[in-house]
Structure 1
């Protein structure tokens, strides 16, 4: 959710880290690839990751050619024996957007709406501002971050997030969203000014994802969280995914650290719908999500379909970042998630029938690059196994 999410800098990728160079090329092989040492490899990658400055713990989930692996390392609280477990609930931040995209792909396939619908069709009242020179914001523009809407509403949140690593940021963000509900969102939406043609330029927008959730609520006549939980339960056997937690669930929520603050910080504040960054899930639930993505059924296939191609290496699907031209990974789908006390990644890499979920309970300006390096190392190890098997 932070301002330093995926942008156009460094191939429009996460804006404060450099992608590691791919050092190993390997071809695909048959199904019988040995995985007997992969659990140990994941353990080693996890151990190396938490050796990085400020990182306390990590959980890694992997699905590789049908086999599942989950590893937890470190202690969630500094100086206390508090390792993460399969029961630990994590804030997955903007990985939530891929789930919203999945629900929208399902709505398209069910003909509940069209990607070319003017978003104002689903709004009460007049919004003459949600267009540029006669071209309206359409649903496809929300999904591809080309709507021209601001990253966050209210606009004050964007000012707070400009100084993301400042230790005051979590408290200031909490203050912005205290008692900020759907009615406030629509009021602020009326005041938005669209300054460029929708559908052309990339501009990361969490407010666009929140509006997506409203549209889904409108066409299905149900609240967004119920839609999400029902779909993931029926389609992916995911039963422990929540936006708002009850008391028992809140007790299992991972503690986390913001930037270089030695004191654990507060959770991400509740957004009006929560579709852009409020989903919580356990590592086993995210492994189920990886399996669902890798199975590539009709809904997933639609959600992975390119809606906008920005250059030969970077496209956007239904909120999914689509990366091509990587010598090691081939074409893959990925997303970063970040809140003030947690960062994570999801990678879907068809070349190896591989899905990776990595999360750590610290959020700072070096966290993403450390996780990216860990993922690259893990992919290199798997590619090396496949090369030997060939």
Structure 2
């Protein structure tokens, strides 16, 4: 049953495909988010629920100015990009170009004895579930650790300085120096380098640069024509300005395109969400299959949690919540899909601070509850 609370009255509908009811819930959620979070800039919400497709926006792209977000506003997706990389990797598996169980060194030129520990090599699947043991980022420098406090420069400035002139050759050279400290697949260690290495393997398999491959495999077939990594002058004008926790305009990082480089619109992302919800494509289904599952329940004494090809997957009473977030300085995004309910939501915002990030998570939780009483909550 579809239920929701608008600003005026409780709303109950027996038909989950009632577009008017869904719009009332989503519009109210967007307005309330900005009302209750005056520190936030703007929020854009997209919902797919059965055949219904709704978008709503609130706030301003530039604090202090009347500049509302538009349908063609571009938002960085940050780590949600990894789900695209994972799906292309799944397509390569379906096409029998590689296997998730392959030793990654099968697809690297030269010897990499260091990419093995305790008799266990890094497998292809390890690159997209953060269990490869690879560092957070390559180049692996102290100032690029995400929690590094000894450098006064903003993190993005540090990354962009290190990435000047840094490409595939330098990445693969640095890969020789990586030292694993545990068996791959044995523990979780967040790694952008893993996703980027997956992209380099895909480039070798298909003979195409990553962005071209992404466009051929996903963006063009799904008519995601506004979604891009590289920004044209026209794209730059449509890009939402990002704001950090000090109210300063953020700078976009460069490098690691397959780990966090995509920018997209709400409209394009609804095409992606619909495709992911339907699960008619075998590559999509494969990307949702858990490569590993955590021990113990995730919802009190019930449910399970695991990770697919960079999708986080929790299950409760036979229903799944499949999700991924993305955060970089000045921006945050969150995608949640529930295939059994034919429900998907995307949130994008151009403000990143602790309070706003928590509020966005709360907004997603409220939307799920309001749209469908059977929705599986996000794990805490």
TM range (shorter): 0.7 to 0.9
Q: Which residue of 2 aligns with 1:44?
A: 28
- The answer to whether the 8 Å contact 1:160/1:172 transfers is no
**CA displacement at 1:188 relative to structure 2:** 1.7
TM-score after normalising by structure 1: 0.85
- The answer to whether the 8 Å contact 2:278/2:339 transfers is no
Unaligned runs of 5+ in 1: 1-28
CA 1:99 to 1:158, structure 2 compared with 1: closer, same or farther past 3 Å?
A: farther
Taking the TM superposition and a 5 Å limit, the aligned residue runs for 1:108-147 are 108-147=93-132
**CA displacement at 1:263 relative to structure 2:** 2.4
TM-score after normalising by structure 2: 0.87
Q: 2:355 aligns with which of 343, 347, 366?
A: 366
Q: 1:262 aligns with which of 227, 247, 255?
A: 247
CA 1:96 to 1:32, structure 2 compared with 1: closer, same or farther past 3 Å?
A: closer
Q: 2:290 aligns with which of 295, 306, 328?
A: 306
State the structure with bigger RCO (CA 8 A, min sep 6), 1 or 2: 1
Superposition RMSD in Å: 2.3
CA 1:71 to 1:105, structure 2 compared with 1: closer, same or farther past 3 Å?
A: same
- The answer to whether the 8 Å contact 1:41/1:381 transfers is yes
**CA displacement at 1:316 relative to structure 2:** 0.8
Q: Which residue of 1 aligns with 2:6?
A: none
Find runs of 4+ consecutive structure 1 residues off by over 4 angstroms: 29-33, 157-160, 163-167
What is the CA–CA distance in structure 2 between the aligned matches of 1:44 and 1:370, rounded to whole Å? 15
**CA displacement at 1:337 relative to structure 2:** 0.4
**CA displacement at 1:148 relative to structure 2:** 0.7
CA 1:221 to 1:176, structure 2 compared with 1: closer, same or farther past 3 Å?
A: same
Question: SS of 1:94's equivalent?
Answer: helix
Unaligned runs of 5+ in 2: 1-12, 298-303, 376-380
**CA displacement at 1:352 relative to structure 2:** 2.2
What is the CA–CA distance in structure 2 between the aligned matches of 1:32 and 1:321, rounded to whole Å? 26
What is the CA–CA distance in structure 1 between the aligned matches of 2:15 and 2:201, rounded to whole Å? 41
Question: SS of 2:258's equivalent?
Answer: coil
Is structure 2 residue 301 aligned with structure 1 residue 315?
A: no
TM-superposition CA deviations, 1:162-218 (whole Å, max 9, x none): 058977333223222222222221122111111111112111111000000001101
Q: Which residue of 2 aligns with 1:339?
A: 328
Is structure 2 residue 187 aligned with structure 1 residue 187?
A: no
Count of residues in Structure 1 that have an aligned counterpart in Structure 2: 353
Q: 1:148 aligns with which of 133, 152, 156?
A: 133
Q: 1:78 aligns with which of 53, 60, 63?
A: 63
What is the CA–CA distance in structure 2 between the aligned matches of 1:152 and 1:53, rounded to whole Å? 34
**CA displacement at 1:63 relative to structure 2:** 0.2
Q: Which residue of 2 aligns with 1:34?
A: 18
What is the CA–CA distance in structure 1 between the aligned matches of 2:373 and 2:306, rounded to whole Å? 28
Q: Which residue of 1 aligns with 2:213?
A: 227
What is the CA–CA distance in structure 2 between the aligned matches of 1:304 and 1:111, rounded to whole Å? 18
Q: 1:277 aligns with which of 237, 260, 266?
A: 260
- The answer to whether the 8 Å contact 1:232/1:239 transfers is no
**CA displacement at 1:53 relative to structure 2:** 5.0
Of 340-349 and 51-60, the range deviating more from structure 2: 51-60
Is structure 2 residue 240 aligned with structure 1 residue 249?
A: no
Q: Which residue of 2 aligns with 1:6?
A: none
CA 1:166 to 1:324, structure 2 compared with 1: closer, same or farther past 3 Å?
A: farther
